[in-house]
Amino acid sequence: MKYQFIIICLIVLQWGCAPEVKEVSNVSSPDSSKVAMIKYPNEKHLKNIKQLTFGGDNAEAYWSNDGKKLVFQARNPKWGSLCDQIYYFDLATAHMDSIPPKIVSTGLGRTTCSYFMPGDTTILYASTHLKDKSCPPVPEHRKDGKYVWAIYSGFDIFVADLGGRIIKQLTNTEGYDAEATVSPKGDKIVFTSARSGDIELYTMNIDGSNVKQITHDLGYDGGAFFSNDGKKIVFRASRPKTEEDIKIYKDLLAQDLVMPTQMEIFTCNADGSDLKQITHLGGANWSPFFAPDGKHIIFSSNHASKGSYPFNLYWVKLDGTGLEQITGDDTFDAFPVFSPDGKKLIFASHRLNPERHGINLFVADWVN
């Protein structure tokens, strides 16, 4: 669910003025004056960028605890997935340009937000397959032109082994339960749920017990991750304030919809205390993740864009100062996630895609 809104927007993008590049691929665009890029000159924190997927829509890739595997969601007709399903692969041996990765989800319904559990033999993910085995429909284009996300009420959270066998269902409440990630300590899960009537963050023990609500303000809270020591949580949130914005938010929520165009980055302690708004940038600031130094948060943002695009990666200190742009793409970079040892960064990007359709995964060495 976290990346549905990018698909529609990418369809209407036009080629912009391409900047000078340091590294150029051998992939030419339909316009011979343009060249698809793998690295931009301002990307000083990234080195040895490598493309991992080749076709379809691929996003939200997360590392195994030993840093050897990656799990992600993809929609790729060549793999038989007409809406998002969960796949995993071994980073050292994968050849996804020719060999499809292994599917973990059932292949039914829509899935999202996978994550390795402690021990790397099981994977957490959300799925709608119990409510409907078909792909749920995406929201229709609105007459007012505003873009919305579907918060599918059929989503529940499951644990499956690497062979795809579901071994446990962790949530079973009415409404949306998804966006679950695991603490590096291996003891807690944070997830997003609409069970209170609003879209809030909750934590639970690794076995699904001891569920606790940790956010309480009106607005969408989601995309949460623990810090490396498991003590803090970073997430994205909308906070409607005016009467008009509150009405719009509540009206959409009653239809299982949210509008993701105005979001900022927040942190709190793992129990919900010490809530802080980190960014005040405007636009859509989302997909945050704690940096390995414990002092920064990396995230995706379109705050510097004249319109909806481009989205680029930025990082900022925990006190909200020191904002720095990390990527320089002219369309879309998002879902940055550091490897457990902090040496690599995986992210989703539109680079090297001359037709401006589809999103692929890239991995790079991280340079401080």
Q: Is the pLDDT reported for residue 58 higher than 50?
A: yes
β-bridge mates for residue 46, sequence order: 366
DSSP codes joined into one string, 209-258: -S-EE---SSS-EEEEEE-TTSSEEEEEE----SHHHHHHHHHHHTTTEE
With CA atoms as reference, report the closest residue to 246 among 233, 256, 235, 259. 259
Q: Comparing 149 with 13, which gets the higher pLDDT? A: 149
pLDDT (mean) for 265-288: 98
- In the numeric block, which tokens belong to residue 50? 């490598």
Measured CA to CA, the distance from residue 46 to residue 54 in angstroms comes to 20
Give tens-digit pLDDT for 117-134.
Answer: 999 999 999 999 999 999
Q: Is the pLDDT reported for residue 354 higher than 80?
A: no
Give tens-digit pLDDT for 187-228.
Answer: 999 999 999 999 999 999 999 999 999 999 999 999 999 999
* Total domains present in the chain: 1
pLDDT (mean) for 229-247: 97
Measured CA to CA, the distance from residue 188 to residue 263 in angstroms comes to 25
Report pTM.
Answer: 0.91
β-bridge mates for residue 258, sequence order: 149
With b meaning 16 or more CB within 10 Å and e meaning fewer, what string describes 211-229?
beebbeebbbbbbbbbbbe
Q: Is the pLDDT reported for residue 270 higher than 90?
A: yes
Measured CA to CA, the distance from residue 301 to residue 165 in angstroms comes to 36
Query: Given this model, what pLDDT does residue 37 score?
Result: 82
* Boundaries of domain holding 128: 4-366
Helix, strand or coil, per DSSP, at residue 367: coil
Give tens-digit pLDDT for 59-116.
Answer: 999 999 999 999 999 999 999 999 999 999 999 999 998 999 999 999 999 999 999 9
Measured CA to CA, the distance from residue 366 to residue 298 in angstroms comes to 12
Helix, strand or coil, per DSSP, at residue 146: coil
Question: 132: Cβ–Cβ under 8 A, 6 or more apart, which residues?
Answer: 109, 154
Quote the mean pLDDT of the chain.
Answer: 90
Here the CATH number for the domain that contains residue 35 is 2.120.10.30
Q: Comparing 3 with 333, which gets the higher pLDDT? A: 333
Q: Sorting pLDDT into bands at 50, 70 and 90, what band is 7?
A: very low
**Is the alpha carbon torsion for 165, 171, 177, 183 positive or negative?**
negative
